[in-house]
Structure 1
Amino acid sequence: MHLLGVHHVSILTGKAERNYEFFTKILGMRLVKKTVNQDNTESYHLFYADGEGTPGTDITFFDIPGLGRTYRGTSDISSVSLRVKTSESLHFWKERFESFDIKHETIRKRAGRNSLSFEDFDGTRLILVADDGEEGVRSGTPWERDDIPTEHSIVGLGPVTLTVEDPKPTVQVLTEVMGFRENGSYPSPEEKGEDILVYSTGEGGSGAEVHIEVREDLPKARLGRGGVHHVAFRVPNEEEYSKWAERLNDYRLPNSGKVERYYFKALYFREPNGILFELSTDGPGFATDEPLETMGEELALPPFLEPKRADIERKLRPLEF
């Protein structure tokens, strides 16, 4: 069994309206699903992705109005990457961020790739990474917009960075349980930081990597707006999904058991440093209950929540996009 790469990341936002503005109007991603947090249906759950909602391209947000800020530290998913095709695109995005007054840094190398870090309105730490023809997990389909040339579109998720105090137990789970392989390291952007460790799965490439940053000088993180709730990894089909459920139990890793999310099936567990991982199937996908052409335009509810639609809609505040 091999995990294919990163499936999605889920983040907390304090205001869905501004979140939508940032990810669609500034970053040019597509809202492919407007639904609710299935564990708290009074909260919206928004999914942004490529033009087709391809697995490995979606970044999702739980909307929690009034949520306090994140306090950075260890036991944390400290940054999330988004893929673009070439380094030329990074220059396009740098100019675009300047025109929108978006906080960003300079273009620099990370794990041998050119990259550009920036923050959204909630302070989420994001990084654009350039594929530049690198082999590995394929990218998604650009979402066409008049103000963003398709050659510069965001086409998927890149590496996630885990910040931990002690890397050994996290590495053990990644390699012995999840089948990741060591793939080198690169210098930390912090002046006195240790080299950041790189681990990859599946076909490799930026869409299939986890980076581990070791920070013994930081307290444990406190999750708030802009913080990453969990990272999910791609399972190709339901047969392997069932085997992963057995594997987690064989390794005596406490886990959620099988969870039906309708658009995919999920398994949740925490690695030893307390970071929440999810294993998610590629299918059936976001077009299972909406036409591909109109995904994300209306509030979508899975069949097990549909009978409660009137009550759910009554408790949700209207979103005007």
Structure 2
Amino acid sequence: MEIKGIHHVSAITANAKDNLHFYTEILGMRLVKKTVNQDDTSMYHLFYADEAGNPGTDLTFFEIPNAGTTHPGVGSISSTSLRVPNDAALEYWKQRLTEYHVDHDGITEQGGRKVIHFRDHEKQRLNLISDETNIGVPGGKVWEHSTVPADKGIIGLGPSRLTVRKPEPTIEVLTKLLTFQQIGSYPSDVEGQPDILVFSTGDGGTGAEVHLEVRKDLPQERPGRGSVHHVAFRVEDKEELTKWKDRLESIQLPNSGMVERFYFRSLYFRDPNGILFELATDGPGFATDEDFEHLGESLALPPYFENQRKKIEAAIEPLDTKRSH
């Protein structure tokens, strides 16, 4: 039983059309699945990733049109990293973000890696992180039709940053329950705050880290558009996920039980600081109901929702995701 790294990150948007434009046209990610939130089919669930939606490359969004403004704070997943191949790619991105009038902080350093912190149009807190020194979990592959050159494009998810007031309960979940180990720390960019702690799992590297930030000066986060809903960690298969369910139940930690998501199977639970974690299987994957060439072009519904297709399509705004060949 070993967590292999980050599986996906799911965030909130208030506008699917604008979200689609930003993540596919500006960031050059591929929309690998256009589906609905299986817990509320009146909202889109969009998956952006590498060419095939490989585990560890998916940034997903729930569309909640009436989502309010996010008020940043503790008890949150406060930043999502997107991996690029090397330091040279960051020079390209610095120019690209400026060209597209994306709010960014230029190239800085974070824990020995070069990064660019930036915000999308809804103030989603993101950073591009260089894989220059990565020897751990490998990245994915940029889609050949991306708006960004293959040697510069986003190849997966990097570290998720968690922000809490009291670190001990989250550290206990990461290290005693899950399979993370603290491997280092780096200075906070906020004066007077403790160092940010780095936790790693599996083969390690950029795609297998969680960074824990302690902030005594912030209130509880009030989530909305531009906030992260949950972070999911990779487990091998259904058999291993079942063992994790048994483990959570053995320590009486409330959880969702096994949840069928069709493209993967999941298990959800919260840490004592209220952060929502998911464990998700590496398969079956996104080519289960669409062929590779046409991923994300049609509204995909798992078989158990197919009999509701007309009702579901009537409840959501059409979103044009057909690629002009």
Tell me the TM-score range normalised by the shorter chain. Answer: over 0.9
What is aligned with 1:226? 226
What is aligned with 1:61? 61
Instruction: Classify the secondary structure of the residue corresponding to 1:298.
Output: coil
Q: How does 1:48-127 map to 2 (within 5 A)?
A: 48-127=48-127
Q: How does 1:67-216 map to 2 (within 5 A)?
A: 67-145=67-145, 147-216=147-216
Does the CA-based 8 Å contact 1:3-1:233 persist in structure 2?
Answer: yes
Are positions 1:29 and 2:29 aligned together? Answer: yes
Q: TM-score, normalised by structure 2?
A: 0.97
Does the CA-based 8 Å contact 2:24-2:146 persist in structure 1?
Answer: no
For 1:265, the aligned partner's letter is R
Instruction: Classify the secondary structure of the residue corresponding to 2:303.
Output: coil
| Per-residue deviation, 1:320 | 3.1
For 2:63, the aligned partner's letter is D
Instruction: Classify the secondary structure of the residue corresponding to 1:304.
Output: helix
For 1:237, the aligned partner's letter is D
What is aligned with 2:17? 17
Measure, in 2, the Cα distance between the counterparts of 1:148 and 1:76: 30
Q: List alignment gaps of at least 5 residues for structure 2.
A: none
Instruction: Classify the secondary structure of the residue corresponding to 2:91.
Output: helix
| Per-residue deviation, 1:145 | 3.9
Please list the CA deviations of residues 42-64 of structure 1 after superposition, one character each: whole Å capped at 9, or x if unmatched. Answer: 00000000011100000000001
Instruction: Classify the secondary structure of the residue corresponding to 2:158.
Output: strand
Are positions 1:297 and 2:281 aligned together? Answer: no
Query: How many pairs does the alignment contain?
Result: 321
Please list the CA deviations of residues 134-163 of structure 1 after superposition, one character each: whole Å capped at 9, or x if unmatched. Answer: 200010011124742111010000000000
Instruction: Classify the secondary structure of the residue corresponding to 1:246.
Output: helix
Instruction: Classify the secondary structure of the residue corresponding to 2:151.
Output: helix
Percent of matched pairs sharing the same residue: 55
Q: TM-score, normalised by structure 1?
A: 0.99
Measure, in 1, the Cα distance between the counterparts of 2:146 and 2:256: 43
Measure, in 2, the Cα distance between the counterparts of 1:152 and 1:89: 5
What is aligned with 1:307? 307
Please list the CA deviations of residues 94-132 of structure 1 after superposition, one character each: whole Å capped at 9, or x if unmatched. Answer: 000110000000211112111111011111000110011
Please list the CA deviations of residues 247-298 of structure 1 after superposition, one character each: whole Å capped at 9, or x if unmatched. Answer: 1111211000000000000000000100000000000000001101101000
Are positions 1:39 and 2:39 aligned together? Answer: yes
Instruction: Classify the secondary structure of the residue corresponding to 1:150.
Output: coil
Does the CA-based 8 Å contact 1:56-1:156 persist in structure 2?
Answer: yes
Are positions 1:248 and 2:248 aligned together? Answer: yes
Are positions 1:7 and 2:7 aligned together? Answer: yes
Provide closer, same or farther for how the CA distance between residues 55 and 146 of structure 1 changes in structure 2, counting only shifts above 3 A.
Answer: closer
Does the CA-based 8 Å contact 1:111-1:185 persist in structure 2?
Answer: yes
Does the CA-based 8 Å contact 2:29-2:146 persist in structure 1?
Answer: no
Measure, in 2, the Cα distance between the counterparts of 1:145 and 1:111: 33
Provide closer, same or farther for how the CA distance between residues 175 and 121 of structure 1 changes in structure 2, counting only shifts above 3 A.
Answer: same
Superposed structure 1 runs of 4+ greater than 3 Å apart: none
Instruction: Classify the secondary structure of the residue corresponding to 2:183.
Output: strand
Does the CA-based 8 Å contact 1:85-1:133 persist in structure 2?
Answer: no
Measure, in 1, the Cα distance between the counterparts of 2:106 and 2:299: 38
Are positions 1:273 and 2:273 aligned together? Answer: yes
Measure, in 2, the Cα distance between the counterparts of 1:312 and 1:142: 32
Instruction: Classify the secondary structure of the residue corresponding to 1:32.
Output: strand
Measure, in 1, the Cα distance between the counterparts of 2:278 and 2:217: 28
Measure, in 2, the Cα distance between the counterparts of 1:111 and 1:6: 18
What is aligned with 1:285? 285
For 1:320, the aligned partner's letter is D
For 2:92, the aligned partner's letter is F
Measure, in 2, the Cα distance between the counterparts of 1:294 and 1:118: 30
Measure, in 2, the Cα distance between the counterparts of 1:270 and 1:198: 20
Of 123-132 and 106-115, deviating more is 106-115
Instruction: Classify the secondary structure of the residue corresponding to 1:158.
Output: strand
What is aligned with 2:317? 317
| Per-residue deviation, 1:133 | 4.0
